[in-house]
Each structure stands twice: as C-alpha cells, then as structure tokens.
C-alpha cells in the first residue's frame, strides 16, 4: 500500500516511451519490451556487425542486442542511460540479452567480460561507466566473470559523434592499454560497449587485447547502428 501511495506521488515512467509504468513493470513497459528492435545477430553465422571488423581485427563473434536508429526509441533509451543517471538501464539490458544468449547455449563461450573503459575524468563526472553496467548485467545473467579495470583509457578523447570514420580511428588509436595482462592471457574475452557506430573504439580495444595474448575476443553492444 505504501509503495502504491509513493507511486502516485512520484510515478515511474517507461524509459523508452515515457508512459507511466504499471505494477510489475521495471524501467521499460511491457509494450516497449515486446516491440524492442532486436538485432538477433547471435542467431547468424555471419552477422552484419562482424563484417565491419573483417580485415581489420580478428573477432570471434560480434553482436548487438538492439538496432540503433537516429532519433528512435533506442537512442532515447541510451541517452537516458548515459546522461540522466540511469545505470540500471544498462544492467537490465545485460540481463535481458544474457537470456537471449543462453537460449542458444552461448553462456559457455566466454571466460571474462570486459567493458570498454571511460577515462577517469569522465567516469568521475558521470559517476559510472554505461558500458560497465551492461557488462555487469551480462555477467549476472551468463554467470561469467566480469572485471571493470582490466582495460584502461589513458587519454580523454573528444566525442566521436560527429567525426568521420578515419578521424574516429585517429581519435582512439593508442589511447587504451591492458592494465592487468595476467587477467586476459589465454582467455576468451567478451568486450562490451553501449553503442557501436563505425566500431573504431572497440576495434582499438580488440587490438590491444589480442596483443596481450588472450585466446580470442568477441564483441557485444546494447545497440549497433545499421
């Protein structure tokens, strides 16, 4: 009863459509959940996302949970995650995607889950790494070890949003390092990010992970641009 009273005073809203949530709904209403634009790349032998990295870096798998379209509901959801202090969105997306992967027996495909890191200055300002929240949700759902500090970003690179692909690559080249190489040696790594557009950021991370002698690297994101 007390919770119902609080909900009347401070109603919760769907983070995608902004309609009021009903009893039992969490962050995203059932309607938006049902109509999520699933990418389903994990169901494909050769995903469109994997093709973006062909000839650049070797990745075992490259997946995204959702399809990203400009000005769409997924973009709004990611904006809530990154800029409106809603880290629980990333965790929920990770748990939901973990269930999808388990249905295809992919929960045994990895030894370690790592997020694409934020620079310390940006992490202090935001209070959390949005990619790390997704990594934690995947870790909980897949029962796979997760570590937030294996990868480190040494340079606070400028925003990627309006850069062309070559400029994006130059913006992230050599700014990452493996801070704990003993954690990745011989491991099957799942590297996760919030959204992939050109893929230059994760490409840079994959390169240094392979140089640190991990067994293989796969990629997963909450969303990927089509």
Same domain, 11 and 55: no
> Do 80 and 110 have their domain in common?
yes
Parent domain of 63? 37-225
Same domain, 102 and 184: yes
**Whether 61 and 160 share a structural domain:** yes
Instruction: Examine the domain organization and report whether 88 and 17 are in the same domain.
Output: no
Do 4 and 100 have their domain in common? no
pLDDT for position 167: 56
Could you tell me the CATH number of the domain that includes residue 86?
Answer: 3.40.50.2020
Same structural domain for residues 52 and 161? yes
Q: Which residues contact 45 (CB under 8 A, 6 or more apart)?
A: none
**Count of domains forming the chain:** 2
Structure tokens at 148: 């937030």
Query: What is the mean pLDDT, run by run of 10 residues, along the chain of 226 residues?
Result: 43 90 93 97 94 95 97 96 96 98 95 96 94 98 97 75 54 82 98 95 95 98 94
Statement to judge: residues 20 and 68 lie in one domain: no
pLDDT attached to residue 226: 81
pTM of the model: 0.89
What is the pLDDT, as a whole number, of residue 10?
Answer: 45
Let me know whether 49 and 3 are in one domain: no
Contacts for 126-131 with beta carbons within 8 Å, 24 or more apart? 126/82, 127/85, 127/87, 128/87, 130/78, 130/81, 130/82, 130/87, 130/90, 130/194, 131/90, 131/192, 131/193, 131/194
What is the rounded CA–CA span in Å between residue 43 and residue 124? Answer: 37
Residues 98 and 207 in one domain: yes
């Amino acid at each position: 009863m007390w919770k119902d009273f609080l909900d009347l005073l401070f109603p919760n809203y769907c983070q995608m459509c902004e309609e009021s949530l009903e009893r039992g709904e969490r962050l995203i209403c059932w309607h938006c959940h049902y109509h999520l634009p699933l990418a389903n790349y994990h169901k494909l032998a050769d995903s469109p996302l994997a093709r973006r990295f062909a000839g650049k870096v070797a990745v075992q798998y490259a997946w995204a949970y959702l399809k990203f379209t400009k000005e769409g509901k997924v973009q709004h959801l990611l904006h809530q995650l990154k800029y409106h202090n809603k880290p629980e969105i990333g965790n929920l997306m990770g748990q939901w995607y973990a269930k999808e992967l388990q249905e295809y027996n992919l929960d045994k495909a990895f030894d370690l889950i790592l997020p694409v890191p934020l620079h310390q200055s940006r992490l202090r300002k935001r209070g959390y790494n949005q990619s790390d929240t997704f990594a934690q949700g995947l870790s909980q759902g897949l029962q796979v070890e997760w570590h937030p500090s294996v990868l480190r970003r040494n340079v606070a690179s400028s925003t990627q949003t309006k850069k062309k692909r070559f400029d994006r690559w130059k913006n992230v080249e050599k700014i990452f390092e493996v801070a704990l190489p003993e954690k990745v040696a011989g491991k099957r790594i799942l590297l996760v990010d919030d959204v992939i557009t050109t893929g230059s950021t994760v490409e840079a991370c994959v390169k240094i992970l392979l140089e640190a002698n991990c067994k293989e690297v796969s990629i997963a994101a909450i969303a990927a641009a089509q």
